[in-house]
Amino acid sequence: MEEEKDINLTQEEIKMPDNAYTELKEGEEYKPILMGTKKYPEINAWTVIWGIIMAIIFSAATAYAGLRFGQVFEAAIPIAIIAVGASTLAKRKSPLSENVIIQSIGASSGVIVAGAIFTLPAIYIIQETNPDIQMNVNFFQIFLASLFGGFLGILFLIPFRKYFVSDMHGKYPFPEATATTEILVSGAKGGNQAKLLVISGLIGGL
């Protein structure tokens, strides 16, 4: 095994493998951009702070959209664009590995919020339509229900991760994850591609 060390990707290494979106043939191996045998800058103050900021902003946006229109949106794509823009402006040396962490932290917002806004309002609707039922619900009960619901979802996700990501490689399209990946890779290449993503994000935001 190669010795672990801090490593920055070169421009030649920042490209999706040819078999990234196709089924693997017998004996064929998929080698991702970020190799598990190497250590990249990932968890640091930059990624955690930006990830939490994105989680807060998109939790509020998802909650409002869901309660107002009954429809939530996938936060990973806009978060990836914002992460690319921030890393480009800050001239980060290893934007790809850092941006993966930022969008991973931030995108978890929609999962928790969507589960809450479509179920917890039912408690108040039941209480309003059935005044005889005494239901004392406070903030901490709602908070803990969302918190442990999120933990439960993660626990169920862990055993399925290897199956869907590794064993079923290329058999499912995963369009949103594919778009997010392409955004992160394009942003890591820098230059005109990163500028295009930043400009597109600003236009979309307006």
Tell me the per-residue pLDDT of 13-45, one tens digit each, with 9 for 90 and over. Answer: 677 777 888 888 887 888 887 777 777 778 889
Say what the pTM is. Answer: 0.76
9 within a domain of the structure (yes/no): no
Give pLDDT, residue 194: 64
User: Is 2 among the domain residues?
Assistant: no
What pLDDT does 8 receive? Answer: 62
Banded pLDDT at 192 (limits 50, 70, 90): low
pLDDT digits (tens, 9 = 90+) for 130-173: 877 776 777 788 788 878 887 887 788 888 888 888 788 888 88
Q: What is the pLDDT of residue 21?
A: 82
Do residues 79 and 107 touch, judged by C-beta distance below 8 A? yes
Q: In the chain, how many domains are there?
A: 1
Decide if 20 is inside a domain: no
> Can you tell me the distance from the alpha carbon of 16 to that of 31, in angstroms, rounded to the nearest whole number?
9
Domain that holds residue 128: 45-205
Secondary structure (3-state) at 6:
strand
In a domain, 4, yes or no: no
Assess whether pLDDT exceeds 70 at residue 190.
no
Whether residue 185 contacts residue 96, with contact meaning beta carbons closer than 8 Å, is answered with: yes
The answer on pLDDT for 2 being more than 50 is: no
Give the CA dihedral 158, 119, 111, 89, nearest 10 degrees: -160
The pLDDT of residue 4 is 43
Average pLDDT, the chain: 80
Q: What share of the chain is helix, strand, coil (3-state, %, to 5)?
A: 65, 0, 35
pLDDT of res. 10:
59
Radius of gyration of the chain (CA): 20
Please report, in angstroms and rounded to a whole number, the separation of the first and last CA atoms in the chain: 48
* Residue 27 included in any domain: no
- Cross-strand pairs, 39: 6
137-150 burial, b at 16+ Cβ within 10 Å, e below that, comes to eeeeeeeebbeeeb
Flag whether pLDDT at 3 surpasses 90: no
Residue type for position 115: G
pLDDT (average), residues 179-201? 75
What pLDDT sits at residue 9?
A: 62
In a 10 Å sphere around its CB, with 0-12 CB exposed, 13-18 middle and 19+ buried, how is residue 175 labelled? exposed
Residue in the structure block whose two tokens are 């996938």? 74
In this structure, what DSSP letter does residue 195 have?
Answer: H
| Mean local confidence (pLDDT), 100-108 | 89
Strand partners, 6: 39
Residue 30 lies in a domain: no
Identify whether 165 is part of a domain: yes
Interhelix angle for 139-162 vs 95-117, to 10°?
A: 130
Over the stretch 43-96, which tens digit does the pLDDT of each residue have? Answer: 889 899 999 999 999 989 888 888 888 787 888 888 988 888 888 888 887 788
Looking at the domain assignment, is residue 108 inside a domain? yes
- Which three-class secondary structure state does DSSP give residue 21? coil
Alpha carbons 18 and 10: distance in angstroms, whole number: 18
Mean of the pLDDT values across residues 92-104?
Answer: 86
